[in-house]
Every structure is written in structure tokens, then in C-alpha cells.
């Protein structure tokens, strides 16, 4: 499908946290939209959404006609994506889906533009998958290091913000914080445990191997994005009482030695990365500073003292932006360049 200089765009799941971020990122990046349509579930149909000073009425996804749409940005949840993304694709639309529904489908490319942009060229189903937020944030700085010294194994621990679970999770942290400060008991609803002044293992299903779904996604998705299933990966994912932006600690083993100084130099020139690494001031990547940013901050570079060719470092990135909306819009920009 040949796309012109401006295209017809649909934002599906527009009333959700990522859907709202889609609109923000599209506007900030001056994405060339000819006609915009916004869609959500039946309960949100009829609401009014403002984009670049113009008002749009939210359509009911179930009754929406995808004819004429060039690119659809989906953030409607896995079950809705499985039901509606193929319908949009069969109508000639290219779907960029933010759910986990198609990520491991061998006929659907899983794309991070800084890593594997050419993967978008082969999309027999007309669908391109956006990776999991934690995976995106990890692979953006890992990829340039992998190209230099080849990653053999890495261990990652994530510290994930509550907004990764949606807008209601943000309100839950706010409310629980007030409750605790007022001497009351925190009342969990979205999460299985109190999140205010607490942290716990990521709230996703635990598999037979003891890894939760978030941890398994990081392993499988990195293999697919890097095109290398030999890399050994172990992840531990946790929820922390932070509103926005994930942080991750990474210990990577490489085939060749790579010094902290060399890693710092490589990543200072890498797309999508900002080096924040001031040992004297003990100043390294923080969620507060990556919130609202599209770059993944990387720092705390040091030799892994437990490995001959190991490197340890710390990263942070906004999971609603680079971990979701921005990555999807970047994929849409690649489609325009084809």
C-alpha cells in the first residue's frame, strides 16, 4: 500500500492512557494527518476529544467502518485487538498494535525503530506489533552494545511505574498514599497488594517455570527483535510506587570485553539514548527526569565484577511514551518513508 504525504489515521482506544498519549505524540511530531478518526469501546462512544484545537467525537469501535483509513494505532487491549485489528487490515489499513495479541506471531513484525526498522517491510497480515514497554526500554540501549560486542546473556530487574497498568492504577496510588498519610489502611483495588509505600512482584500471571508473564515477554520479545534466540535472558519484574516511567538494572555478558568508558561513548552517539552518568554527584537515570521524555536514559556504567566480559548499568524510560505511544508513532513514520 502506497502512502502519500498525508494520511488518514485512526486512534483506537483513544480514551485510555496510551490512547491519549498517541494524540500528544502525533501532535508533537507533526505527523501528517489528512483525516483523523478516534475510537473506543461503546461506553466511551459519543465523548468529545480535542486534537490540535479541533474537536472529534469518539466512535464505537464495534460499529466503526475502517474503509479509507491508512494507519490505525491500536491500544484497545489484547482481546479487542484480536477481534478488530484483522478487520481493519483486511480493509486495506496498516495496523500498529500496542497489545500483546500479535507480538509472537511469526507473520507479524515486532519493531523498535532504533533496532530493527527494516522488519516492517514484511507484514503479510497488515499488522505491526509494538513490543512490551519494558522490552522497548531495555533493547534501545542494549542494541548498540550488542552490535559492538554481542550480548551472550543478560539479567534485568525492572522497577515499573503504576501507569503501566492504566489510568486507574495512577488514581489508586494517589488514593492509597492519602489513606496511609491519614493513618488509614491502604485499600487495593487495581493491584492485588497495597502499592503506596510498598513494592511487589509484577502483577501478571506466574507460569509453570516461576516467571511471570512480564518477565517471559522480555525474554521472548528480545529474541525476536534481535533475531537471536541464543541470548540467555533472565528477568525479574516488580511494581514500585512511581507514577510514571520505568527503571531497569541490567547486567550483561558479552562475547568481547567492553569497558564502561567504551559503553558510555557508544551510547552517547546511539539513537534514542541519553547518557546520564555523573559519579561525583551520584547522578544517574531517574523516573522523575524521564517522565514525558522519548529518550531512554542510561548510566551507572561499571564493570560487572562477577564476569570477565560483563557490564552493569542502569536505565530509565517513559513507558507511556517510548515504551508505547512514541514507538508506535515512530513505526507509522517508517511507513510514510517506504
CA atoms of 316 and 250, how far apart (whole Å)? 11
Angle at 282 between CA 277 and CA 286, to 5 degrees: 65
Check if the beta carbon of residue 66 is closer than 8 Å to that of residue 10: yes
The one catalytic residue among 93, 202, 237, 246: 246
Residue 50 has a CB neighbour count (10 Å cut-off) of 9
Residue 52 annotated in active site: no
Q: Cell 550488542 maps to which residue?
A: 146
- Spatial CA neighbour of 284 closest among 302, 270, 269, 266: 302
- Which residues are within 8 A (CB) of 39 and not within 5 positions of it... i.e. 6 or more apart? 10, 11, 12, 13, 14, 58, 59, 60, 61, 64
Alpha helices in 276-325 (DSSP H): 287-290
Helix (H, G, I), strand (E, B) or coil at 178: helix
Phi-psi region of 40 (alpha: psi -120 to 50; beta: other; left: phi over 0): beta
Residue 246 annotated in active site: yes
DSSP letter, residue 203: S
Check if the beta carbon of residue 37 is closer than 8 Å to that of residue 44: no
The one catalytic residue among 52, 93, 133, 223: 133
Active site residues: 133, 246
Amino acid at each position: 500500500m502506497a502512502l502519500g504525504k498525508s494520511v488518514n489515521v485512526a486512534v483506537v482506544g483513544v480514551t485510555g492512557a496510551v490512547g491519549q498519549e498517541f494524540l500528544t505524540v502525533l501532535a508533537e511530531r507533526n505527523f501528517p494527518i489528512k483525516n483523523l478518526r478516534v475510537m473506543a469501546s461503546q461506553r466511551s462512544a459519543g465523548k468529545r476529544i480535542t486534537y490540535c484545537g479541533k474537536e472529534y467525537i469518539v466512535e464505537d469501535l464495534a460499529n466503526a467502518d475502517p474503509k479509507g483509513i491508512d494507519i490505525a494505532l491500536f491500544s484497545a487491549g489484547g482481546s479487542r485487538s484480536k477481534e478488530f485489528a484483522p478487520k481493519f487490515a483486511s480493509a486495506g489499513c496498516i495496523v500498529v498494535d500496542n497489545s500483546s495479541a500479535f507480538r509472537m506471531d511469526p507473520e507479524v513484525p515486532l519493531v523498535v525503530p532504533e533496532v530493527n526498522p527494516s522488519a516492517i517491510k514484511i507484514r503479510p497480515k497488515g499488522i505491526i506489533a509494538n513490543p512490551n514497554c519494558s522490552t522497548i526500554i531495555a533493547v534501545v540501549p542494549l542494541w548498540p552494545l550488542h552490535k559492538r560486542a554481542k550480548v551472550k546473556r543478560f539479567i534485568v530487574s525492572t522497577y515499573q511505574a503504576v501507569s503501566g497498568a492504566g489510568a486507574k492504577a495512577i488514581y489508586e496510588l494517589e488514593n492509597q498514599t492519602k489513606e496511609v498519610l491519614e493513618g488509614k489502611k491502604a485499600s487495593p483495588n487495581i493491584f492485588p497488594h497495597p502499592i503506596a509505600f510498598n513494592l511487589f512482584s509484577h502483577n501478571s500471571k506466574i507460569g509453570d517455570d516461576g516467571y511471570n508473564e512480564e518477565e517471559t515477554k522480555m525474554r521472548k520479545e528480545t529474541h525476536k527483535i534481535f533475531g537471536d534466540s541464543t541470548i540467555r535472558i533472565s528477568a525479574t519484574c516488580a511494581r514500585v510506587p512511581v507514577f510514571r516511567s520505568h527503571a531497569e538494572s541490567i547486567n550483561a555478558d558479552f562475547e568481547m570485553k567492553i569497558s564502561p568508558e567504551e559503553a558510555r561513548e557508544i551510547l552517547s552517539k546511539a539513537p534514542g539514548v541519553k547518557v546520564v552518568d555523573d559519579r561525583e554527584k551520584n547522578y544517574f537515570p531517574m523516573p522523575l527526569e524521564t517522565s514525558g521524555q522519548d529518550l531512554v536514559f542510561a548510566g551507572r556504567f561499571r564493570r560487572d565484577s562477577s564476569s570477565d566480559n560483563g557490564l552493569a548499568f542502569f536505565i530509565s524510560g517513559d513507558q507511556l511514551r517510548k515504551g508505547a505511544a512514541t514507538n508506535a508513532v515512530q513505526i507509522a513514520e517508517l511507513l510514510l518513508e517506504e
